[in-house]
Amino acid sequence: MFNSAPNIYMIKAANAEGFSELNAFDVALLKSGVGNTNLVKMSSILPPNCKKKDSIILPPGDLVPVAYAAITSSKKGELISAAVAIAVPKDKTKNGLIMEYENYGITKEEAESQVIKMAEWGMNYRGFEIDRIESIASSHVVEEYGAAFACVALWWE
């Protein structure tokens, strides 16, 4: 399917309301810039030497490798949150680590704090020294049908 490891990435998050939980999820994907693609949920590795981009124009319908946290709810008034974090190693020949976290009843700050700790722990377990951690989160208070979404999308330059 893919010939080589992706060499660019973007980190995005959004929340949304929709006609149904699936529609809310779809709107959150659209707001994040990945909604008109076919997401290939991947395990959580950032390829070595991958460069961050503020946004990436993804071809409609393409298969896009994405690590993501997503949560939906139809419980009115419920707070939902999703977050992702990327731990980038100091040694650029090594891979980075992406962690995802979502939960009910927590703020986006709580979700982001948790996912950062997860990324730190994973890098420490690997024995990789961390250069930096990037993170993003989204929260939503459900009106009818809601979604919170956070992702790291990988692509090729």
d(CA 32, CA 99): 17
Residue 73 catalytic? no
d(CA 70, CA 81): 8
d(CA 49, CA 91): 9
Please tell me the predicted confidence (pLDDT) of residue 3. Answer: 79
Domains of the chain (ranges, CATH numbers): 8-155 (3.50.20.10)
Residue 138 catalytic? no
- Considering the candidates 15, 32, 44, 95, report the single residue annotated as catalytic: 44
- Considering the candidates 15, 73, 95, 100, report the single residue annotated as catalytic: 100
The tens digit of pLDDT for each residue in 79-119 reads 999 999 999 999 999 999 999 999 999 999 999 999 999 99
> Under a CB-based contact definition with an 8 Å cutoff, are residues 94 and 128 in contact?
yes
> Under a CB-based contact definition with an 8 Å cutoff, are residues 22 and 73 in contact?
no
Residue 103 catalytic? no
- Considering the candidates 38, 55, 74, 124, report the single residue annotated as catalytic: 38
Question: Comparing C-alpha atoms, which of 156, 157, 136 is closest to residue 148?
Answer: 136
d(CA 115, CA 149): 14
The tens digit of pLDDT for each residue in 2-27 reads 679 999 999 999 999 999 999 999 99
Q: Is the dihedral of CA 89, 92, 94, 99 positive or negative?
A: positive
